[in-house]
Amino acid sequence: QAQLQALAPMAPIHCFPVIDSTNQFLLERVNQARAGECCLAECQTAGRGRRGKPWISPFGCQLILSMYWRLEQGMAAAMGLSLAVGVAVVEALESLGYQGVELKWPNDLYYQGRKLAGILVEMSGSAGASCHLVIGVGLNLAMPAREGERIDQAWAELRHINPELVDRNQLAARVIERLQTAMQTFEQSGLGSFVDAWNRLDHFAGRPVRLLMGDLEVRGIARGIDDRGALRLETEEGIKFYLGGEISLRRG
């Protein structure tokens, strides 16, 4: 806690009404940014999602937040980071009274089987050196119905959990605080301290799923994650482990 208090006032928070992408803003500042530095926006014109997809962020409808961090141990140490980020964001929501939010491997927040938020971690750096991380979170607060045509999956909103939305500044502050603490923990001890919490929040735990990797499909029962953040899948040939990348997970 003492460390966090010393860190927070030094790390600037950049706020924009409109920006191309909050992740992009911080990626362009990696050489001068401080750990914990954040960028918030009301709207993105070129928001990015995972696997090269666009992230639709209409004005004032989401919490759009990115945070910069530097990992001295280098890129290899960042494995599983987005899972830790997912836990931190769910715990921020729980601390504000939003219950029932789950995680879908590798890093979506789900509410009642629909996507509530997405996480995109982008990195830069070279092998053997410290690496720059930009952690992006897009969390639906109240989306306009017309966006349905542009978004390719069913989504949930924070107002579905509680119609009396929490103050957005309070929400942003809580998510930033939890993310900073989570990053300090991750830096010191890696994913290990998040695994139990992740498995407790796992949307698919014990359920039949399909893993899609390009043209390849694997079916099995989801059995949570291991210490590396790999998805454990119980298949007819036994337990198999899958690390992130170009993989997507669907209900079986």
Taking the CA atoms of the chain, what radius of gyration do you get in angstroms?
18
* 64 touching ligand BTN, by CB under 6 A: yes
36: left (phi over 0), alpha (psi -120 to 50) or beta: left
Stretch that binds ligand BTN, among 9-17, 114-122, 185-193, 198-206 (CB under 6 A): 114-122
* Active-site residue, 114 included: no
8 A C-beta contact, residue 219 and residue 210: yes
What tokens appear for 18 in the block? 């409109």
- Least CB distance to ligand BTN at residue 154 (A): 13
* 220 touching ligand BTN, by CB under 6 A: no
3-state secondary structure of 78: helix
Using CB under 6 A, pick the residue from 49, 58, 74, 125 that binds ligand BTN: 49
Using CB under 6 A, pick the residue from 33, 36, 38, 44 that binds ligand BTN: 44
Tell me which of 29, 115, 168, 228 is the catalytic residue: 115
Pairing of strands 231-235, 216-225: antiparallel
* Active-site residue, 250 included: yes
Distance, CA of 247 to CA of 213 (rounded, Å) = 5
Using CB under 6 A, pick the residue from 120, 175, 182, 222 that binds ligand BTN: 120
* 55 touching ligand BTN, by CB under 6 A: yes
* 82 touching ligand BTN, by CB under 6 A: no
Nearest residue to 44 via CA among 153, 137, 148, 168: 137
What residue ranges bind ligand BTN (CB under 6 A)? 21-23, 44, 47-50, 53, 55, 57, 64, 66, 108, 118-120, 136-138
